[in-house]
Chain A
Amino acid sequence: MTYIEKPSISNVVKFEDPDVAKVERLTVMLNTGTDIYQGACKKRGSTLKDEYRKVAGVCYMDPKDMAKLGVGNWESVLVKSDWGEVVCYAAHSRDAPHEGMIFIPKGPWANVVVSPETYCCSDPTYKGIEATVEKTDKEVLLMADLMRDVYKKYVKEGEKTEELPSLGEMPVYKKIARSK
């Protein structure tokens, strides 16, 4: 089968690099777009699974930027832009070097931080967005939990999404009892 646990990424982040000055928060340019792992997982339909958050909830960064923040592969980072904030995994980009630029594959995680502004051109601005990245202890949410947390469509008044139990990795719906 074509299933993967997570994308294979290289691990060459040098935390002790003398050229790298440590920072708390990094100002970067955010790009989004497709990626082969994201495409394969999304179109297979495995969007509720842990696999989807490992392929689409990932912030691909230059290893120097990762060293500046002190984050390693598969540690959480908080990405903030004018339109929202989202927790993603940090991962070494296979297209590096591109210092000062991060890439999040398109998907529910990237959607939170991209700009819906179309400038009357029908097309939102998915690329070239100013954002900041910082280290965080928060967990990356599964797709269903993220959709509930961000859009709160079926959350009752007064309920806190972070206190609700996770919706899990399988479809949840009430089935009709069938007698065979």
Chain B
Amino acid sequence: MSDEAPKPYQRKIDRRTALIWVGAAGAAIAGGAGVVVYREAIGKKEPSTASGYGTDPKLNPPIKAPWPRLLSDDELQAAAVLADFILPATATAPAASALGVPDFIDEWVSAPYPDQLEDRPVIRDGLKALIPDLVRGDAARRTAALAALPKSTDEKIRAFFTRFRALTVGAYYTTEAGFKDIGYIGNEARASDPGPSAEVKAVLEERLKALGL
């Protein structure tokens, strides 16, 4: 980890979407140039009856998740620091925050569906508890808090970390950059499917032999 304070996370969503979320009253705070800096005020009105996308959402092109986002700016910043601790940038792959993972965490915990409603308090409580260390704390405090997380024996913290990591990994590896990092090749039209290469078959044969098959 760098000793420098992390740059504040900026939402990767487009301006139009942000305006839909914040509504006309909040429109003034939406910044220009397609980047919206999130303000705590937006998240304060937690809707009790947000709608999902319904049983017939537009698939092509896919609609954006329509529900308002709930994370406060501090929660979002904590999510960004933690996501980048889980998947920091490497020489060949971007950091989680560069792929908008914190926005996705917000989208997920704000969703009005059962799985996500179950995750909501787990993730939000976990993030809130980390704000003093990850957002307000200095570099040493931040580093120590992050290092302690995966080793925690506290049941609540473990549940939070496991879920947050799963969401981060899911959000990351479902992107094109994630495909490249994990080695997914596909989703492109081919005239035929030649099947596995000779190289793959040779490795497989060797391993099957070792299994006695």
Q: Report if A and B associate in a common complex.
A: no
Chain B residues at the A interface, C-beta cutoff of 8 Å: none
